[in-house]
Chains A and B, each alone.
Chain A
Amino acid sequence: MFIRKSIKWFIFPLLALIAVATFISGCGGDSPAAPVPANGTGLTGSISIIGSNTVTPLATVWAEDFMNMHPDVSIGVSGPGSGAGIAALINGTTDICQASRTIKQSEIDDARANGIEPYEIQVASDALSVVVNPANPVSELTIPQLSAIYTGKITNWSEVGGNDATIVVLSRDTNSGTHVFFKEHVVQMAGLASEDKSLEYGPKVLFLPSTEEGVSEVARNPNAIFYPGLGYVTDEVKPLAIKKTADDAGVLPSVATALDGTYPIARPLLYYTDGTPTGVIKTFIDYCLSAEGQAEVTEVGYVPLK
């Protein structure tokens, strides 16, 4: 009897607590934590960064450095893809969206409809490398050749001077900014005389959920080709020299060739915020753009702004 009684007294407050907790969590959803002056380093708050898989290694290093300097700030970085990040920005579920492509007009319209004004900040650049297995004899390709490989017109390595083997074409899935950037600048050959906006990835292309998976498949498979950001290139894969057209000289991806503009598929890495950043978010982005922050860019393998 006593036990039954106590259970009853226990259940009702518990239910009340659950109800209240649900209510509170429902209300206080996505408002970014305002910086409250504290005694320590003076900065508190939390920042969520969602977006590009390419920017993730860099953003993680920045976030760790920043949290070491300001122990009361917490930063969460996740990298499902630029498209996912921009969708999160539009839906108001992230403070900063990291992207490896520029935002589309349709996305800006969606954001404005939700009362969000995307504000763009370039934080670094990337040379988009095209990698193959080290056992592959091919060492350079032109952009039209890459386009033909990715649209499925060229299916055998022997057509581009390699072994007689079927090309295993790897790509990121549609969540990825790299997917979209590569489609516009390589598959559709933007900026070249042969540009064709109607080209799409071919049906035999494998769409992978992460950049790491593509790199590890290339490391294992002698006939695979993939396009990771410069920061993901390891010793187990071989980057190809890229030529704009057959007449140009092949250029290998590196920080130097991206900075002097000779590497043909370099792209900006961007942060998007809702309006101009303020408070702790501004302090964080200022750090990313500072000399120390940009030094980390080279360290991680991307291209600093200057």
Chain B
Amino acid sequence: MRLKRNVHEADAIAVTAGGLARRWRLGEKLIEGWIYLAGGLAIVVLLGIIILLVKEGMPIFFDTPPWEFFFGTKWYLVSEPPTFGIMPFFVATLWVTVVATAISVPIGVACAAYMSEVAPDKLRETVKPVIELLAGFPSVVMGFIGLMLLSPLVQSAFNLNTGLSGLTAGIMLAFMSLPIIISVSEDAMRAVPDEFRQASYALGATKWETIWHVCIPAALSGITAAVMLGVGRAIGETMTVLMVAGGALAVPVSPTEPMMPMTAAIASGIGNAVRGGLQYQALFAIGLILFVLTLFVNLVADRVLERQKRRFQR
């Protein structure tokens, strides 16, 4: 039956080119529709998440006024009545992100410069996939490494009371955002046209001077985008900070103190929250703030990356 139909089909193709065109157009339309749907779905899901976050998170501001919520320093979730003030979490997120960025950016950019300008092709072709593989490391594994290996080291190196601190979490996050920073900034530096380098060499500049004064400035917007993406990763990371940051509720004045970033606060409270309850709303409101923060960072990164692309497109 099927064979017969195929034979028939083959005949039809052979005989009328018009039929073929029509059939093609139908297939094209189908696939076009499918892709359109897939693209639309992504937007629908994103909108759905935003609506959900706003719907579940906003009602908390009827109970706790926004300024008390943002600037309050007391967070007692299971007390009667509960108090919600997220200042400690916000500052903790800032500290952890600052530490992670301060460590990962110099290392990441230097590594990218080495891979794009100095390393032989063969080395780069093996090292780059390995670094990109590092990005796929489960965060719970990183948390475990931080807990078992890094926190005793940090404790003895800085003579702290405990190794569970924002600093430890920041170092772990630096390792986690390194792959993104290296990969994206390496791409940006390789996109710098070769004429730039040749011109620099022609003027008698050394390799180092070429990298420092020509390649990095030319790729700066791409590198900035890479840094922003890395920062976005550091802000949003949960499991690692939950495990190693220590989880204290005081507003941290230095990164060596134990602290609880916003993501960890959500994770450690959500299991206990009853759908629709005050705690649930408060945690969703933190989620909303986090979402706005990472969205902003990613938007900036996107903008900058777009500008980099346009610059070398002629």
Contact = CB atoms under 8 A, between A and B. Distances in A.
A206 B147 contact: no
Interface residues of B, number: 39
Interface in A209-228: 209, 213, 216-217, 220-221, 223-224
Interface in B21-77: 27, 30, 73, 76-77
Nearest to A208: B247
A223 B161 contact: yes
A90 interface: yes
B161 A174 contact: no
B247 to A, nearest CB: 4
Contacts of A87: 271-274
B13 interface: yes
A83 B164 contact: no
Interface string A179-208: 110010000000000000000110111111
A91 B274 contact: yes
B268 interface: yes
B228 interface: no
A166 B248 contact: no
Q: Is the interface of A mostly helix, strand, loop or mixed?
A: mixed
Assign chain A's interface to a size class. 35 or more
A110 interface: yes
Contact of A1 (B9, B246, B272): B9
A237 interface: no
B162 A81 contact: no
A175 B161 contact: no
A107 interface: yes
A107 to B, nearest CB: 7
Contact of B79 (A84, A200, A206, A223): A200
A173 B250 contact: no
Most buried by B among A83, A91, A201: A83
A2 interface: yes
Contacts of A209: 242-243, 247, 267-268
B233 to A, nearest CB: 21
Contacts of A306: none
Nearest to B257: A204
A261 B155 CA distance: 40
Contacts of B248: 203-207
Contact of B269 (A107, A173, A183, A221): A173
A168 interface: yes
16 contacts: A2-B6, A83-B271, A87-B271, A87-B272, A87-B273, A106-B80, A168-B162, A173-B268, A175-B269, A203-B88, A203-B251, A204-B250, A206-B258, A209-B243, A217-B164, A221-B161
Given A165-B161, A206-B162, 10 more contacts: A84-B271, A168-B162, A173-B247, A174-B268, A180-B78, A203-B249, A209-B243, A209-B247, A221-B162, A224-B162
Interface of A: 1-2, 4, 8, 80-81, 83-84, 87, 90-91, 106-107, 110, 165-166, 168, 173-175, 179-180, 183, 200-201, 203-209, 213, 216-217, 220-221, 223-224
